Every structure is written in C-alpha cells, then in structure tokens.
Amino acid sequence: MVLPLFALFMLADTATAPAAPLRFDLAPAGRSASGTPVAPDRLYTKGGFGFEPGATPDAFLFSAAVPEGNYRVTVKLGDARAAGDTTVKAEARRLMLLNVPTRPGRFVERSFLVNVRTDTLPPPPPTAPGGTAVRIDATDKASYAWDEKLTLEFLGHPKVASIRIEPVTVPTIYLAGDSTVTDQYGEDAASWGQMLPAMLDDQVVVANHAKSGETLKSFLTGLRLDKILSTIKPGDYLFIQFGHNDQKSQWPQTFADTKETYPAYLRAYIAEARRRGAHPVLVTSPERRNFDANGKIVGTMTEYAEVVRQVAAEQHVPLIDLNADTVKIYEALGPDLSPRAFMAHGTDKTHNDNYGAYLLASAIAERIRANIPDLAPHVTMPTFVPSYPPMPETVPIPPSVTVLTQRPAGS
C-alpha cells in the first residue's frame, strides 16, 4: 500500500523519529532524477503533491501536503539550456528569494524556512471554555495560509530543477498584528510581515499570524493568540503590533483607549509570551501617508506609538519603532513619490504595495539588527537607512498570481 505524503510524515512523527525529507524533481523528462518526478500537468490533490491550477511558464504554484510545523526548503534553480531569473514566495505570498539569476547550464541551490499551520487548536478539557479552531474567514481559507500543505510560488522567469522539503526545529518569530503586518493574500496589497523572511537567513523562521482588521481584543476573541500560544516554545519571539484599528472609538467592542485599555492589553500579551519562555517584542504602528503643506507627515498614530514606547521601557521589552521609521521613509520619498509605496496606485494611504512593504520590512530588519542581539546575526540584508530609501525601480518584486478582490479590512 502506498501512503500519501501527509501520512508518511505523521507516521514518522508518532514514532518520534525525524520525518524523511521530501524531494521533487521538476526537471524535464530524460534528466536523471534523485527525487519524485513531477509531470508538468500533475495537479495537487489533498494529501499529495502537485501544481496549483492556472500555472504558466512564468508563474506557477507547487504544493505538497505536510503536517503543521517549520520546514527547510531547498530549491535547485537553473536549466540546462535556458537562463532563468527566479523569485520564490511561500504560503500567502511570503517573499523568500528575490530575483535569483541563473545562466544556461548552471544550477544554484538556495535554502529558506517556511512555517506551515492549520486552524486546529488543542481541544480544551471538558467543561473548560475555549475552542478547537481559530475563527478564520473566507479570505483566510483562500490564501494558502491555513491549510494542510506547503505552497511555493515561482515567479519572474523561473527555472526550477528540484525542491527538497524537510522538517526543522528552529527559533520562530511569531507576528501578531493587523493589515499592515499580515500576509496579504493578493496583489497589489502587501505588508511588512510577508517581506521579512527574505531578509533573514535559513536559521530562523517567520510565522505570520497577523490578520487584516484585527485589534488586541479581536485577536484574542478570534483565538488567534491562542493558536500562537499553543505552539510557541522557549526561545521563540512574539512581535506585537496593533493600533490602527484599536484607536477606532466607532468600533465599541474592540476600541482600546491609550490611557487604560491599550497598555493593559499590551502587558497581557507580553506576560503570555514570557510565561512560555518566549521573548516579546513591541512594534509601533506604521504611520499613514498624510502630508501637510510643508511636506511633513501628519501623525495619526502618535499617541498609540508613544504608549508602545512607554510599555516597552517599563517592561524591559525590545522596541522596534516602525512609526518613527515610516515618517522618515515617507518624508524622504515626498508627496509625489510616496504614493508608489501604497496599493491602489496610491489612493490607499494605509496599506502598502510590494515596494512599500519591502521598505517597511527593511526598517524592521534594521531595528532587529540594532536592538535584538540574539536575532541580529540572522539579518542578511544590507544596511537600511530610513531617510534614504531605495527608489521603486531598484526593488523589482514580481507580482503574484492572485489578485486582491477587495480592499483589506481596517484603515
């Protein structure tokens, strides 16, 4: 009897033995294969492996069923006859590799880490409150981020010879936040959380649990924090960034004032992480793109950012001051160029596009390098100075196949 890939992983897990790596050979027929050969027309079926529908030579998605966990993915890029230029994203458009060139007949290997999760929660004991699953919605279900498989997206002019997938135990950076952090599932929206993996090495993984429209309160009631706490382990990190939606007094069930509620919830998140031996990190909310007559950003998150700074100092928690950095970035770009960092051709003043998200992730990575010594060695990107951001033409991120059908929740 031939077991599906998912079952093979599960058997290895229940036997407390390391699961065997999976290797898939995508090279043309006739070339020696050291892994499972994958025909160009093989579509993914639940519990197996294959291409997602809609593949083209320059944009395709490949999935393999795996249990929830962290995985090292090693891709062999190149082609015997043709040049390539391959960008790789994972799950819901998390950037892993950007524009890797290969010459005809030359092959290169690159490795990166991918976090895979489902919505399942450990069931609470009888009569205890709680739930058995995160309260995900239709957008979550369509995003490749809450399912039983690891999904890779290959873009640009991709040339992929093989894919190797193996489970790993590594430090995990969990992200809790809103639409400015989340893995936006379609173009042309993007957030810093889905760009950050490309700026780190293959010894630390990003698990982005952020969700558009979320607040400190709704992240609790939706059981999203419960999901993080069910898998977080000693030595992991919890990055916490909320504020854009918490400040909305017209949302009575989730409004958090800066004097009492907002700092109290931040302290609760910090305590939950610390109780499990993880390291909390506070991130100030990025500023919206509103300019005054003198080309200066008009602050809309000032009070909330200041509370985050105060709580970080009080609790001795590392601070990533993204609010301050985004003011510098947007003012450096100015009123005319800064719209190119936002979705919907700049008509949206809150949500970034790929270029803007890359700039914000660069600011995050630079703050990690400066403020979190244990993570600093894992930052691989060059030095980033917010007051001198790279121009849009220098950050050519190929667009994903999926297109956003509606504006992200929140503002």
368-396, pLDDT tens digit by residue? 999 999 999 999 999 999 999 999 999 99
Q: Are residues 200 and 317 in the same domain?
A: yes
Task: Give the Cα separation of 140 and 146 in Å (integer).
Answer: 7
Q: In 45-72, which positions are buried (b, 16+ CB within 10 angstroms) versus exposed (e)?
A: eeeebbbbeebeeebbbbbbbbbebbbb
Q: Put the strands of the sheet holding 160-167 in their side by side order.
A: 36-37, 22-25, 160-167, 69-78, 107-116
Task: Give the Cα separation of 167 and 73 in Å (integer).
Answer: 9
Residue 270 has pLDDT above 80, yes or no: yes
Give me the DSSP letters along 232-297.
Answer: --TT-EEEEE--TTTT-TT-TTT---TTTHHHHHHHHHHHHHHHTT-EEEEEPPPPP--B-TTS-B
From the CB of residue 249, how many other CB atoms can be counted at a distance below 10 Å?
Answer: 8
Which tokens belong to 248? 């909305």
Mean pLDDT calculated for residue range 350-363: 98
Task: Give the Cα separation of 268 and 266 in Å (integer).
Answer: 5
Mean pLDDT calculated for residue range 192-217: 98
Task: Give the Cα separation of 120 and 109 in Å (integer).
Answer: 34
Contacts of 281 (CB under 8 A, 6+ apart): 237, 238, 239, 240, 317, 318, 319, 320, 372
Residue 89 sits in a domain of what CATH number?
A: 2.60.120.430
Contacts of 291 (CB under 8 A, 6+ apart): 297, 298, 330, 335
Q: Are residues 154 and 229 in the same domain?
A: no
276-324, pLDDT tens digit by residue? 999 999 999 999 999 999 999 999 999 999 999 999 999 999 999 999 9
Q: What pLDDT score was predicted for residue 33? A: 59
Instruction: Specify the residue for token string 């995003």.
Output: 143
82 contacts 102 by C-beta, under 8 angstroms = no
97-116, pLDDT tens digit by residue? 999 999 999 999 999 999 99
Residue 1 has pLDDT above 80, yes or no: no
From the CB of residue 18, how many other CB atoms can be counted at a distance below 10 Å?
Answer: 12
Q: Are residues 333 and 308 in the same domain?
A: yes
Asked if residue 403 belongs to a domain, the reply is no
Q: What pLDDT score was predicted for residue 12? A: 39
Q: Are residues 11 and 76 in the same domain?
A: yes
End of a domain among 144, 168, 192? 168
Residue 184 has pLDDT above 80, yes or no: yes
Q: Collapsing DSSP states into helix, strand and coil, what is residue 379?
A: strand
Task: Give the Cα separation of 397 and 189 in Å (integer).
Answer: 13
Q: Which residues pair with 51 in a beta bridge?
A: 43, 62
Mean pLDDT calculated for residue range 247-267: 95
Give me the DSSP letters along 174-236.
Answer: EEEE-TTTS---SBT-B-HHHHGGGGB-TTSEEEE---TT--HHHHHHTTHHHHHHHH--TT-
pLDDT band at 8 (very low <50, low <70, confident <90, very high): very low
Q: Which range among 28-32, 248-252, 375-379 shows the weakest confidence by mean pLDDT?
A: 28-32
Q: Are residues 109 and 176 in the same domain?
A: no
Task: Identify the residue with better confidence: 31 or 114.
Answer: 114
Instruction: Give the chain's domain count.
Output: 2
End of a domain among 138, 168, 198? 168
pLDDT band at 406 (very low <50, low <70, confident <90, very high): confident
Residue 2 has pLDDT above 80, yes or no: no
Q: Collapsing DSSP states into helix, strand and coil, what is residue 11?
A: helix
Q: Are residues 73 and 195 in the same domain?
A: no
pLDDT band at 56 (very low <50, low <70, confident <90, very high): confident
Closest by CA to 166, choosing from 88, 230, 111, is: 111
- φ/ψ (deg, to 5) at 376: -55, -40
CA dihedral 172, 178, 181, 186 (to 10 degrees): 110
Asked if residue 404 belongs to a domain, the reply is no
235 contacts 277 by C-beta, under 8 angstroms = yes
Q: Are residues 148 and 255 in the same domain?
A: no
320-336, pLDDT tens digit by residue? 999 999 999 999 999 99
Q: Are residues 150 and 182 in the same domain?
A: no
Q: Are residues 282 and 176 in the same domain?
A: yes
Q: What pLDDT score was predicted for residue 29? A: 47
HSE-CB for 238 with a 13 A CA cutoff: 30
Q: What pLDDT score was predicted for residue 28? A: 58
Asked if residue 409 belongs to a domain, the reply is no
Residue 3 has pLDDT above 50, yes or no: no
116-156, pLDDT tens digit by residue? 999 999 999 999 999 999 999 998 998 999 999 999 999 99
Q: Are residues 159 and 121 in the same domain?
A: yes
Asked if residue 411 belongs to a domain, the reply is no
Task: Give the Cα separation of 233 and 217 in Å (integer).
Answer: 23
Q: How many residues would you count in the chain?
A: 411
Q: What pLDDT score was predicted for residue 19? A: 64
Asked if residue 237 belongs to a domain, the reply is yes
C-alpha 84: how far from chain center:
25
Q: Which residues pair with 152 in a beta bridge?
A: 62, 90
Q: Are residues 163 and 204 in the same domain?
A: no
Q: Which domain holds residue 39?
A: 1-168
42-51, pLDDT tens digit by residue? 999 999 999 9
Residue 32 has pLDDT above 70, yes or no: no
Residue 73 has pLDDT above 60, yes or no: yes
